[in-house]
């Protein structure tokens, strides 16, 4: 109790302490990264380095002096301290960039994904840098020794001095700051809590304050076109949507380690130069199923506009979405869908996380019942990190030693790669099993499979882990994705496709998730004004 009585300070001291804490504790990662970019070749470089914390400190002091109203100061600071501590943990541990897309991931993640990131280290970090300081803010008594008008005057003087310091530094080191920001675009997004507040603001504006959210319908003129072949078999296409698989680790694309032994035997058509629309599921999935190219993608519009699954449904095609990765991000809301984790299959699931073979559970029963052209989407858990070791069964633990932890930044790099490659090996097995299932129905249906990942993954390259880097400077590991096709002989013949042509196109063509919308329509022979043949990966090889 005596300690609590002694925990007090005046308002000016409190603001100074808060500015110091936010600058040197909560933004320590930012400062170190900023200092690392400076060449240190002359005295001016050292002086510039010294001004970075000075500017940051002055900015925080200005904000706290002007905006810290007595009745909201403590609650606001407590929230900002905890949010900043949480953000800094992921920035420091995984090289994560906190922006609008990352905030969207936070709001749209599920308990399973959140649990995979949970660790003792995270708890300790959050306690030490967030919760304990927040409790100290709650308990401290801010005393005012002077009349209210003098306190306001002190705050005004402090704010004015802070602004003058910032302006002086800007005048003396404008070129250095301009170069720092221009050449290190992700650096500014390390400043907390500005990154968190900016991300939340943009997300809220896009999701909750965007005005009219009436569903925009597209492709209502869609209908099935005539086939080249007179064969009356229905068409069945399985679209396997991968998770966090990067092309760099697919042996089909030249990776030295054999991670695709079974697909290699299937003779699939592998596209070596495929890129994603985003670097996180919340962007890539709705983007690839929309008719908007990456350069003009509008996440807010995609949220309330129909996609390719809806267009196919307009054409009378059966669509089913099977989920194993926490949700379809709105793309399957208007078609039949089922979350396979809710089936609680003990042989395939544990702690609400399932192996991807759950997507094939009793799938043959559904296939037996279909009477029309059908597209089945299987949304994998794939190689979702950081707990890669949970993404494959023990039988797939081929590459050893492994990193059996979600603290991947502490693992030996080769062990981490081994673990990730085992998850790719399991995807290879699951895809091969899916192709085998389709082959068993080749007498009844024209069967085909398309697989691609939503985005890639960083495994420590350039100090980055996981994914979600802003696309403008994201490394290739996060944007270069695997994409492949498997087409049965009857499918090739029915749709007049030259397989050798496709193989050659796959070796040299640059494709992306922009092609998904139009390729799926082409694969199902859907005619509509929203279909663009030039973006259909198969169209150029059809007779």
| 384-394 tens-digit pLDDT | 989 999 999 99
pLDDT of residue 165: 94
pLDDT at residue 229 greater than cutoff 70: no
Tokens of 388: 């890669």
Mean pLDDT of 326-343: 92
pLDDT of residue 255: 97
- Where in the chain do CATH 3.40.720.10 domains reside? 236-302+319-343+377-541
Edge-first strand order for the sheet with 374-379 is 269-271, 483-487, 445-453, 234-242, 374-379, 318-323, 337-339
- Condensed to tens digits (0 to 9), the pLDDT of residues 137-179 reads 988 888 777 676 777 788 889 899 999 999 999 899 988 887 7
Q: Which architecture, in CATH terms, is 236-302+319-343+377-541?
A: 3-Layer(aba) Sandwich (3.40)
What's the pLDDT band for 211 if we cut at 50, 70, 90?
low
Mean pLDDT of 88-95: 81
pLDDT of residue 103: 72
What's the pLDDT band for 463 if we cut at 50, 70, 90?
confident
pLDDT of residue 478: 96
Tokens of 10: 């005046």
The string over 327-350, giving b where at least 16 C-beta atoms fall within 10 Å of a residue's C-beta and e elsewhere, is bbbbbbeebebebbbeeebeebbe
Q: Give the best-scoring range by mean pLDDT among 140-154, 204-218, 446-460.
A: 446-460
Higher pLDDT, 54 or 107: 54
Mean pLDDT of 524-533: 96
424 CB-side CA count, 13 A: 30
Q: % helix / strand / coil in the chain, to the nearest 5?
A: 55, 15, 30
CB atoms within 10 A of CB 223: 12
Lowest mean pLDDT segment, chosen from 90-94, 291-295, 481-485: 90-94
Where does residue 468 fall: left (phi above 0), alpha (psi -120 to 50 degrees), or beta otherwise? left
CB atoms within 10 A of CB 228: 13
Mean pLDDT of 278-297: 95
pLDDT of residue 141: 86
pLDDT of residue 281: 93
Tokens of 384: 């979702």
Matching residue, tokens 């882990």: 465
Whether the pTM exceeds 0.85: the reply is no
Q: How far apart are CA 136 and CA 141, in angstroms?
A: 10
CB atoms within 10 A of CB 445: 20
pLDDT at residue 488 greater than cutoff 80: yes
pLDDT of residue 351: 77
What percentage of the chain exceeds 90 in pLDDT? 65
- Condensed to tens digits (0 to 9), the pLDDT of residues 100-137 reads 767 776 777 666 666 667 788 889 999 999 999 999 99
What's the pLDDT band for 232 if we cut at 50, 70, 90?
confident
pLDDT of residue 1: 42
- Mean pLDDT, the chain, as a whole number? 90
pLDDT of residue 230: 54
pLDDT of residue 238: 98
pLDDT of residue 133: 93
Lowest mean pLDDT segment, chosen from 103-112, 166-175, 221-230, 400-409: 103-112
Alpha-carbon torsion angle 488, 494, 495, 496, nearest 10? 100
pLDDT at residue 3 greater than cutoff 60: no
pLDDT of residue 72: 84
pLDDT of residue 212: 64
Higher pLDDT, 178 or 540: 540
N-terminal to C-terminal alpha carbon distance within the chain:
86
pLDDT at residue 337 greater than cutoff 50: yes
C-alpha dist (Å) from residue 219 to 253, 315, 353? 35, 9, 36
pLDDT of residue 178: 77
- 378 contact partners, CB below 8 Å, separation of at least 6: 238, 239, 240, 241, 322, 324, 356, 359, 360, 434
């Amino acid at each position: 109790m005596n300690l609590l009585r002694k925990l007090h300070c005046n308002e000016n001291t409190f603001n100074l302490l808060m500015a110091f804490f936010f600058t040197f504790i909560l933004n320590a990662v930012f400062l170190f990264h900023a200092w690392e970019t400076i060449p240190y070749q002359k005295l001016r470089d050292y002086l510039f380095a010294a001004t970075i914390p000075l500017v940051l400190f002055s900015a925080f002091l200005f904000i706290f002096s002007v905006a810290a109203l007595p009745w909201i100061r403590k609650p606001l600071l407590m929230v900002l301290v905890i949010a900043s501590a949480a953000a800094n943990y992921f920035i420091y541990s995984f090289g994560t960039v906190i922006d609008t897309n990352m905030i969207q991931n936070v709001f749209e993640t599920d308990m399973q994904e959140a649990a995979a990131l949970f660790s003792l280290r995270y708890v300790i970090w959050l306690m030490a840098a967030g919760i304990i300081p927040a409790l100290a803010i709650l308990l401290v008594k801010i005393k005012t020794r002077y009349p209210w008008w003098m306190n306001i005057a002190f705050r005004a003087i402090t704010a004015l001095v802070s602004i003058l310091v910032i302006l002086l530094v800007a005048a003396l080191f404008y070129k250095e700051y301009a170069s720092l920001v221009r050449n290190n675009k992700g650096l500014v997004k390390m400043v907390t809590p500005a990154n968190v507040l900016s991300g939340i603001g943009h997300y809220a504006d896009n999701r909750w304050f965007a005005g009219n959210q009436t569903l925009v319908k597209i492709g209502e003129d869609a209908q099935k076109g005539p086939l080249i072949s007179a064969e009356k078999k229905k068409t069945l296409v399985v679209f396997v949507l991968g998770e966090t698989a990067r092309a760099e680790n697919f042996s089909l694309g030249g990776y030295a380690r054999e991670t695709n032994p079974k697909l290699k035997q299937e003779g699939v058509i592998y596209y070596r130069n495929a890129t994603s629309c985003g670097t996180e599921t919340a962007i890539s999935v709705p983007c690839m199923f929309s008719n908007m190219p990456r350069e003009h993608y509008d996440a807010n519009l995609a949220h309330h506009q129909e996609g390719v699954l809806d267009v196919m449904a307009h054409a009378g095609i059966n669509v089913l979405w099977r989920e194993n990765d926490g949700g379809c991000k709105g793309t399957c809301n208007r078609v039949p869908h089922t979350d396979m984790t809710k089936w609680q299959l003990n042989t395939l699931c544990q702690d609400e996380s399932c192996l991807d073979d759950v997507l094939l559970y009793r799938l043959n029963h559904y296939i037996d019942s279909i009477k029309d052209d059908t597209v089945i989407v299987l949304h994998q858990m794939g190689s979702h990190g950081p707990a890669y070791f949970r993404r494959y069964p023990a039988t797939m633990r081929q590459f050893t030693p492994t990193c059996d932890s979600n603290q991947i930044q502490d693992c030996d790099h080769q062990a981490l790669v081994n673990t990730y490659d085992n998850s790719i090996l399991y995807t290879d097995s699951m895809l091969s099993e899916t192709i085998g299932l389709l082959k068993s129905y080749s007498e009844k249906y024209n069967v085909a499979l398309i697989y691609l990942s939503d985005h890639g993954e960083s495994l420590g390259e350039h100090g980055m882990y996981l994914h979600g880097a802003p696309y403008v400077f994201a490394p290739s590991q996060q944007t270069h994705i695997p994409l492949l096709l498997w087409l049965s002989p009857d499918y090739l013949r029915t749709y007049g496709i030259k397989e050798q042509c496709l193989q050659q196109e796959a070796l040299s063509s640059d494709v992306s998730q922009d092609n998904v919308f139009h390729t799926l329509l082409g694969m199902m022979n859907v005619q509509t004004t929203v279909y663009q043949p030039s973006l259909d990966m198969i169209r150029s090889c059809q007779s």
